[in-house]
Amino acid sequence: MPRTHALEVTRNIGIAAHIDAGKTTTTERILFYSGRLHRMGEVHEGSATMDWMEQEQERGITITSAATTTFWRDHRINIIDTPGHVDFTVEVERSLRVLDGVVAVFCAVGGVQPQSETVWRQANKYGVPRIVYVNKMDRLGADFFGVVEKIRARLGCNGVPIQVPIGAESNFQGYVDLIRMKAIVYKDDLGKEYDEVDVPESVREIAAEHREKMIEACADVDESIMERFLEGQEIGEEDIRSALRKGTLESKIVPIICGSSFKNKGVQALLDSIVDFLPSPLDIGSVTGIDPNTDKELVRNPNDSEPFTSLAFKIMSDPYVGRLTYIRIYSGTLKKGTSYLVCYRDPQTNEFRTRKERVGRILQMHANSREDLDEAFAGDIVGVIGLNDVTTGYSICDTDNPIVLEAIKFPDPVISIAIEPKSRADQEKLGQSLHRLAQEDPTFRVRTDSETGQTIISGMGELHLEIIVDRLGREFGVSANQGRPMVAYKETVRRHAKAEGKYIRQSGGSGQYGHVWIELEPLPPGGGFVFENKLTGGAIPKEYVPAVEKGIREALESGILAGYPVVDVKVSLIDGSYHEVDSSEIAFKQAAILAFKEAMKQAGPTLKEPVMSVEITTPEQYLGDVMGDIQSRRGRIEGTEPSIGGVQIIKSLIPLAEMFGYVTSLRSLTQGRAAPNVTPSHYEDVPQGVADEIISKAQGGRN
């Protein structure tokens, strides 16, 4: 089956923004106007095509990123609609890793909100070109130019309006296209009928001002435009489009347009901007990876004739087809029924692993519906069935040309709860179901508490875990009870220490002998764990050193204060001794555990807790009550700033331990009129009084 769409007319884009900015509604309108849908779905009615999960339809929010494909002006557009809620930031992270461009949606009233900033930083990390769509121009308090200024100030980008709105709020009629200097005025509620007229007198001056600024921005990236601009010559439409495209691809310009997706105004212009300004796979160019056999860097170009190279970026349990793996193809051709090599770097050993897996079916996805394909090509995003032992971030490639692409890094979970099945019949199903959910979501973890035997699940927030428990019942038929949320505390040390560990056992016949000296020192926050072998003179044979490191890693899992994981430490193996007959790997592993625990006692152990960045939007009359409540929760107020419509934004830092039930409390304080946005910020030391209480409870539970 030959390729039906050239690479230069392919666009792989994501729709991303803060929760409630209108991403899913915008995607629904894109699909309607491009002919992919014949009826528009609505988020508030629970009928949006892209929000296909029951939990999404009930809550009116996007939980899992959904993929679809549509066509506009003979261009093929692969779209991923991503969630806006911070608990599901993993979906945005992995989508941005494989996308070529992003449409960042901003609310014309809310402007730059916390999750908008998070998404923007993620896009910066992956160097993804983007355009901005200022949505909800029909809402009370809409302020297009205010949002543009906030985008420039808070996101540090060169936001360039290529449209200006005609009217706002209930009087929003359309926009002026600054490239053609024509006004588009909508005549009907469906957005299909509009007049193209001369720029109205009411916006002529502001349109001329912003057209000049747009051409100045183009002149900064195109020397020929610069020369003509300085000489006062007229700049043609195609020259402007070409310069805007060049500036967007180089991330020097972010074109900004406006509209109201709900009222069906401005979406066709958004589709035009996607085609005109966002990159094709050819514009993005080659990807680099590592040859797992030689450790040398390899390059793959977006070409069907190159060796097949792809990245698995999402795993999903589909009720109809089973385990589905979403992949982005960077080079070569994927054929169904063929075996490919799965390559990845083991995070524990840092070694490369490879194995063969067979692709049974290739699916073109449209939310939760699908279409079978025989082949897929470079630049495509498809679902694959048959890859049973693949996780997010694994590379799938040609068996004769192995390559490991850069994996996707995910944040650690910050909140845990204990979960137990309601009946014995649910016991076995619970373990299998949690394993499948953990394969889908890299920020969801499952472990068994060695002290209590309880199953502990961890995630990015209360909503995240609530959805997981809900899915257990609906998708897997497992009824479970859940315990109170628990905070993911960490332990670390304040100073340098040196300690000895001896493990000697003699009980007839051969015994056990392991003896080590280690040094323990703190690392900066985020330093993780570093192990260094500083042995000299063969004090311990080389074959026992990995056992020492293994013992240290095991000891890190449970600190000495309250049994929480130990982070940000460096351990150096400096000395020891061995017995020619009695020494073994087990003995040295146990000696290392003893030495680490002793060193930690001397090194000033301390407890760290996750602190959340909390941004609260509240009417001014509740400002004092909200600030008082923050301080009662051990919170620190970082500052306040006025926003549109007489509301204030309070920026604060609050320990996660004090945040449980916060949304309910805030609603009762403000009669439901305040809205919080909570994002993980950092870890910091727990105050001594609070730490003593946590340690006492933990030790009481272990006794």
> At a CB cut-off of 8 Å and minimum separation 6, what does 507 contact?
none
Q: Locate 10 and state its tokens.
A: 């392919």
Q: Are 312 and 388 in contact (CB under 8 A)?
A: no
Q: Are 266 and 299 in contact (CB under 8 A)?
A: no
Q: Are 79 and 380 in contact (CB under 8 A)?
A: no
Beta bridge partners of 530: 570
Q: What is the DSSP string of 198-235?
A: PPPHHHHHHHHHHHHHHHHHHHHH-HHHHHHHHTTPPP
> At a CB cut-off of 8 Å and minimum separation 6, what does 567 contact?
490, 491, 492, 527, 528, 529, 556, 608, 683
The secondary structure of residue 406, as a DSSP letter, is P
- How many Cα atoms within 13 Å fall on the side-chain side of residue 498? 5
Q: What is the pLDDT of residues 390-412, one digit of tens each?
A: 888 899 999 999 999 998 877 77
Beta bridge partners of 446: 457
How confident is the model over 187-209, as a mean pLDDT? 89
Task: Name the pTM for this structure.
Answer: 0.72
Query: Is the pLDDT reported for residue 34 higher than 90?
Result: no
- At 346, give phi and psi (nearest 5°): -65, 120
**What pLDDT was estimated at residue 41?**
46
How confident is the model over 181-196, as a mean pLDDT? 86
**What pLDDT was estimated at residue 219?**
95
CA distances from 592 to 537, 541, 552 (A): 19, 15, 6
**What pLDDT was estimated at residue 545?**
92
Q: Locate 558 and state its tokens.
A: 């449970």
How confident is the model over 331-342, as a mean pLDDT? 96
105-119, 225-239, 567-581, 593-607 — which is least confidently predicted?
105-119
- How many Cα atoms within 13 Å fall on the side-chain side of residue 414? 27
Q: Which of 681, 690, 685 lies closest to 658, judged by CA? A: 690
Query: Is the pLDDT reported for residue 51 higher than 50?
Result: no
Q: What is the pLDDT of residues 577-596, one digit of tens each?
A: 998 888 899 999 999 999 99
Give the pairing of strands 569-577 and 529-533. Answer: parallel
Burial state string for 22-52 with b = 16 or more CB within 10 A and e = fewer than 16? bbbbbbbbbbbbbebbeebbebeeeebbbbe
**What pLDDT was estimated at residue 59?**
41
Give the pairing of strands 309-318 and 322-331. Answer: antiparallel
Q: What is the DSSP string of 660-687?
A: TTHHHHHHHHHTT--EEEEEEEEEEEPP
Query: Is the pLDDT reported for residue 356 higher than 50?
Result: yes
Q: Are 676 and 666 in contact (CB under 8 A)?
A: yes
Q: Which of 18, 10, 157, 151 lies closest to 82, judged by CA? A: 18
Beta bridge partners of 298: 289
Give the pairing of strands 647-655 and 605-619. Answer: antiparallel
Q: Which of 174, 150, 347 lies closest to 263, judged by CA? A: 174
pLDDT band of 88, cuts 50, 70, 90: low
Secondary structure class of 58 (helix, strand, coil) = helix
